[in-house]
Every structure is written in structure tokens, then in C-alpha cells.
Structure 1
Amino acid sequence: MTTQNETIADVLELIALNQIALRAGIEELAKWVLERGSKDIHTSVLTALQTLDTNAEGIDSAIKILRQECS
């Protein structure tokens, strides 16, 4: 039987995977923009991606806590 914490951890893992996919796509677009001479936009995008990375760490921590509580 799946507990509430397991369900929450499963959903957070899906969100984390979506976040990774979005980050990869945005990073590719940022490279494309840089190649066309828009260094300022590229830098702004990379700064925003750092926020995704920071938040990903928080999501991973929450998943680990929930999984530990399930065991």
C-alpha cells in the first residue's frame, strides 16, 4: 500500500524530472542566443538557471526525507 509520503515523493520526482528537461531545453536556447551575439540575454538566462539548480537541490532533499520516513 502506498503511503501519502510515498505519493508525495513520487510526484516530487516527476516535477524534478520535468525541471531537468526544461533546464536542458532552456540552456540549449541560451547557447543559440549567445551564438547570435546576445551575450546579455545569455547571461540573464544562466542566472535564472541557477535558481532552477538551487530549487532542484531542495526538491531532492525533500524527496530523500520523505523516502526515509517511508522505510
Structure 2
Amino acid sequence: MPNSDLLPSLLSKLYENQLALEASIMELSNWVEQRGSADVADNIRGALHTIDENEEFIKLTLGVLMAPD
């Protein structure tokens, strides 16, 4: 596989990791909130909002990079 073919695959795996981390962090924020730290949970959700905002762009860009020439 040429190096130029590796970039889309790498970015796809990084994107999958990002989604997994997002889900894990959301679970932790729910756990924190249930234990009375609503402010901390809100801060976590604020940071996760950035991931949500960038998710569609990343997904579309990966689609373009992985499209056949």
C-alpha cells in the first residue's frame, strides 16, 4: 500500500478513536453528575460540544479522502 493510501486509513482510525473517547467521557460525566458534581459534568459536556461541532466536518472530509479517484 503506497504511503498516500495510508493517510485516509489513519485518519479514519483516529476518527473512530475520537468517537470512542467521546462516548467514554460522556459516561464519566454522567457518573460524576450522579455523584453531585453537576458543575464538573457541565464543564465536561462543554468540552465534548467541541467534538460534536467538528464531527460532521471530519466525517465529510474522510469521505472525500477515501473516495475512489
Higher RCO structure, 1 or 2 (CA under 8 Å, sep 6+): 1
Gaps of 5+ in 2: none
User: Aligned to 1:37, what secondary structure does the other structure show?
Assistant: coil
Give the aligned partner of residue 15 of structure 2.
16
Distance 2:65 2:30 in 1: 36
Structure 1: gaps (5+ residues): none
CA distance in 1, matches of 2:29, 2:66: 35
Number of equivalences: 69
TM-score scaled to structure 1, two decimals?
Answer: 0.82
Structure 1 segments (4+ residues) deviating >4 Å: none
State the superposition RMSD in angstroms: 1.6
- 1:48 is matched with 47
Shift in Å at residue 32 of structure 1? 0.6
Q: Equivalent pairs: percent with the same residue? A: 35
Instruction: Report deviation, 1:7.
Output: 2.0
Partner letter of residue 49 of structure 1? L
Give, in angstroms, the shift of residue 62 of structure 1: 1.3
TM-score (norm 2): 0.84
